[in-house]
Amino acid sequence: MPPQAALALTEDRRRSTGESHQALCALLRDTGGQPLRIPAARHPEQAQMETAVFLACCKIGGLSAHPLGIVQVRPGEDQLALRLANEPYIVRYWAEFLLPRLNDYDEFSDPQDRIIGVPGLRYRRERGGICLYRPGTPASILLTGFTPHWWDRVVDRLTDYDLLQSKPDWTPEERAAYAAAAASPCDPPSIYSPLLRRIRATAGPGPINSTDAWHAVGGDVRLETTDGPPCPDLIRLLGDGPTGLGWEVDHKGCTCLCDHTHSDVGCTIDFREPTTGRFVYYSNTKWGRTLGDGRCDRIAEMNRAAFT
């Protein structure tokens, strides 16, 4: 196959996952000359875990060029590998937001409110990174891109959180929180798991990218970027492109093709997921942030504080 043709067949997947063309070339043999697709999670438990991880970590905000601190996604049917930015503060955020602990407030009635973090999540050191898993399930996510010792140092300093990592199995509170989440229509794995596997599609060309998501009324989804990609790119990568999800554009308010700059005007796209009928209401607020000295100093400060 000519090199240019091969590049075209991996282009959209590379843009959505951050994988290199060289790493994907071996997979082209089985595509029959078609663009390389992005596999979905094989097991429901894998999709549910990816959903919980995505919703927890998209709250970290954005000082990095990489949404959620994710530089690259390597999607497999049975495991998801995520390469994080090689920054201590990113590792600190991930450990702090993901590892489960009991909520001290007893007045919460919803079982999901009894757990902070991802219910049932545990980790182990593996060659190449940190493996997140849930005991008794086939679900796992491999975190790479940083020195694994950083993760251990961060966890050692989260002693005030009384983490459930030491429990070899799920606690009753975790099982109750998991069951409540699985029964809820608010956070559908059919939407969030594919989004995590394509998280690089939400990154814009600027030096800072933040992606957030939360549920809207009726089981629909809100998706927001602060400095996201041009709308035509996102529509192709999540919608009608060869590696897309088939999301249909129901309505769009786009300023991407303006011939002048509006710093206070963003873009909106109402996607409809055709198999469930759910809407994903997307907005790109177009903050236009830059990585000035103040932000660089802030990152350096957070890196210093990551192990304290």
Q: Which uninterrupted H or E stretch holds 94?
A: helix 88-98
Highest mean pLDDT among 80-94, 207-221, 287-301: 80-94
pLDDT higher than threshold 70 for residue 227: yes
| CA–CA dist 262, 260 (Å, integer) | 7
Whether the model pTM is above 0.75: yes
Higher-confidence residue of 296 and 130: namely 130
pLDDT of residue 107: 64
- CB neighbourhood size of 113 (10 A): 13
Q: Which uninterrupted H or E stretch holds 24?
A: helix 21-24
**Span 37-68, pLDDT tens digits:** 999 999 999 999 999 999 999 888 777 889 99
| CA–CA dist 189, 153 (Å, integer) | 32
| CA–CA dist 36, 243 (Å, integer) | 7
Share of the chain above pLDDT 90, in %: 70
Residue 186 phi, psi dihedral angles, 5° rounding: -75, -35
Highest mean pLDDT among 2-11, 280-289, 292-301: 280-289
| CA–CA dist 95, 90 (Å, integer) | 9
**Span 15-39, pLDDT tens digits:** 999 999 999 988 888 777 889 999 9
Q: What SS3 state is found at 52?
A: helix
Residue 174 one-letter amino acid: E
pLDDT of residue 264: 58
**Span 167-179, pLDDT tens digits:** 999 999 999 999 9
| CA–CA dist 142, 126 (Å, integer) | 9
Sequence-ordered list of residues with C-beta below 8 angstroms from that of 204, at least 6 positions apart, any chain: 225, 227, 228, 229, 230, 284
pLDDT of residue 217: 79
Q: Residue 265, by phi and psi: left (phi above 0), alpha (psi -120 to 50) or beta?
A: beta
Rounded mean pLDDT, 83-106? 92
Average pLDDT of the residues of the chain:
91
pLDDT of residue 218: 78
pLDDT of residue 33: 82
